[in-house]
Structure 1
């Protein structure tokens, strides 16, 4: 079959209603299989992964097998209670496709359906990847070895952008998204009565010093031209107002546009934690977890070709964007495989991860048209080499 606009909209709405967290996307996986099974099967081959049972790889056999192009979409959702008021809102309490992965999947299915009926010049590898939001699904998939025999020579993916006009394509050469690193820290002291602070060791004070000192990491340790982010978004200390807290916990994030800078910021966070432990006579357990969330560094050759095509093709609204401090585990795949990530505009007044995020679904058809056109162009370019 060749999916019509109304069918694509129905697919999007059905995916939006069944959001699942990373590594739990079993209903989503089944839905994807059902949609793909209705496509022309002449050129399709499937592959699954024992270690990632919700992942799905589909190869579209090309006329030639000398090149492979990869296309990746993420499939997981977020632990957010939806408040969009849509008639097709999430059916699962506390779960929502607030990051637009339902849009990502629908566009991927549209591209796959086109090439299932229009055999590509070279092999196309579609990757339906679980757990982008957590657990480094891209890194796990790559390390599983499932791609070894189907390893793409280059790879592409997009993220929807509520701040861009509907259907606009945005990208840039170099780093598109930041690399991220999670901060988790526990401070252990001695609790006691609020009236006798000298007989206790107050972790509310210690954790406050830690949070304040972290503000110097970017302002005094990072080149201002490069920039970076250190944010503590969760702080817990004590249980009640008249008891000195003997324990405190914080969660946060480090974000940087280069891996070198990210590692430098991680070192500074660790030094500050050790300094707080020494100054306040407490124990600090610090965990810094980056996993596969490396900076999304677009390859110069593929991205130059991508940007030239998108900017010169009639009907495509191309916008050269600036780097963003958002994170994406596609950065790990780009560290292994040259390729390009781009934005697809969905023109929503609400941001990514908002409980009211509702993309303009007209972007689906425009995204499919832009990417099928580009891939056809890319096949011609590679054939001419």
Structure 2
């Protein structure tokens, strides 16, 4: 079976975070079809650890592939369209898993000196699987000495990668704020505490944080993507909910932004005589590529493969792989996939040639790292 076909099979069965039961089963069935002599498999919730024993191990090289899909209605029109209503692999995790399986297959047939650890991680899109997986007993026993991962990039052509040393992706946090006041008849506003008005005021004040509380030489984003409140047009709303996301390029700015949000919400409670509850939801640590390993990787790809290396800029996207890089030296890179539509879009359609490009490039690089004297 080709790895393109595997990608298509996985594309049909997208599942949300920690619900990847069919996906896990599919991966396990494939893994069981491979030579078992040097491979050990352990499951963790809906994720999987795959350890391949080296011939003369001195270290362990780790590789992470995320598994979950998104709550999006697919509109690609592909013949292998999602079979799960209102769910789609709109972030390329079907590509990521297929590439990982390709690498496992390669190294079971072409062994290297060092041990390899492949991590199929659930819930990258939320609520976050990397941090708890990192803290598991299995990871403690098999913890790699270095780790890498990729993410497809629709904006780059197939046959290229984009990467940089240092900060690649931002710190991120979800934001949910619930306001509760006193509702009532639209004709008697003086007898109520209108939560639609309170929510509107809150959103306006939140937008002052980046402009007035974050260093202009730093970067931060507060985006409110959803406001809900009220029931019908002639009833003053008793409740309102504000949902958004926070992105910062430094840990310190994330802490400052959250502290300022708490202060503003306390002011809303006093000013509008209401109660507020704040939930920062899933927070992801920045993706920070270790300098020496990243430089070495870039140099190897330039000199020993046909893949183009593009030095990219940091981005405000988030990835919970940052938690793994916080504990283990390594890096993440963008894999060119050339799609007209971007990540998290209902019409995302990356070119499948990128799968073989990644398997070929990474098998060579990992072979180089797994036989090189340090």
Determine if the TM-score, normalized by the shorter chain, exceeds 0.5.
yes
Aligned pair partner of 2:98 in 106, 110, 116:
106
Mean alpha-carbon deviation: is it higher for 139-148 or for 156-165? 139-148
Return the offset for 1:368. Answer: 0.8
> How many residue pairs were aligned?
374
- Give the distance between the partners of 1:27 and 1:188, measured in 2 at CA: 40
Aligned pair partner of 1:212 in 182, 204, 212:
204
Deviations 1:34-88 (A, max 9, x none): 2122223232111122xx1x21111111122320110010011111111100001
Q: Does 1:47 align with 2:42?
A: yes
**TM-score normalised by structure 2 residue count:** 0.97
Residues 257-336 of structure 1: matches in 2 within 5 Å?
Answer: 257-291=249-283, 293-336=284-327
- Give the distance between the partners of 2:282 and 2:127, measured in 1 at CA: 10
Return the offset for 1:224. Answer: 2.4
Aligned pair partner of 1:117 in 109, 113, 132:
109
Return the offset for 1:286. Answer: 1.2
- Give the distance between the partners of 1:120 and 1:314, measured in 2 at CA: 19
Aligned pair partner of 2:125 in 129, 133, 140:
133
- Give the distance between the partners of 2:196 and 2:127, measured in 1 at CA: 30
Find the residue that maps to 1:64 and give its secondary structure: coil
Where in structure 1 are there 5+ consecutive unaligned residues?
none
Deviations 1:139-189 (A, max 9, x none): 111122211111100100011110111131111011111111111111111
Residues 62, 116 of structure 2: 8 Å contact kept: yes
- Give the distance between the partners of 2:103 and 2:234, measured in 1 at CA: 61
Return the offset for 1:301. Answer: 1.8
Q: Does 1:253 align with 2:241?
A: no
- Give the distance between the partners of 2:301 and 2:187, measured in 1 at CA: 68
Find the residue that maps to 2:57 and give its secondary structure: strand
- Give the distance between the partners of 2:282 and 2:15, measured in 1 at CA: 23
- Give the distance between the partners of 2:249 and 2:40, measured in 1 at CA: 37
Mean alpha-carbon deviation: is it higher for 353-362 or for 60-69? 60-69
Deviations 1:253-274 (A, max 9, x none): 1011221111111111111111
Aligned to 2:136: 144
Aligned pair partner of 1:35 in 30, 47, 51:
30
**TM-score normalised by structure 1 residue count:** 0.95
- Give the distance between the partners of 1:264 and 1:120, measured in 2 at CA: 47
Residues 159, 306 of structure 2: 8 Å contact kept: no
Where in structure 2 are there 5+ consecutive unaligned residues?
none
Aligned Cα root-mean-square deviation (Å): 1.2
Return the offset for 1:251. Answer: 0.9
Return the offset for 1:376. Answer: 1.6
Residues 114, 371 of structure 2: 8 Å contact kept: no
Deviations 1:183-238 (A, max 9, x none): 11111111111111111111111111110111111111112222111011110111
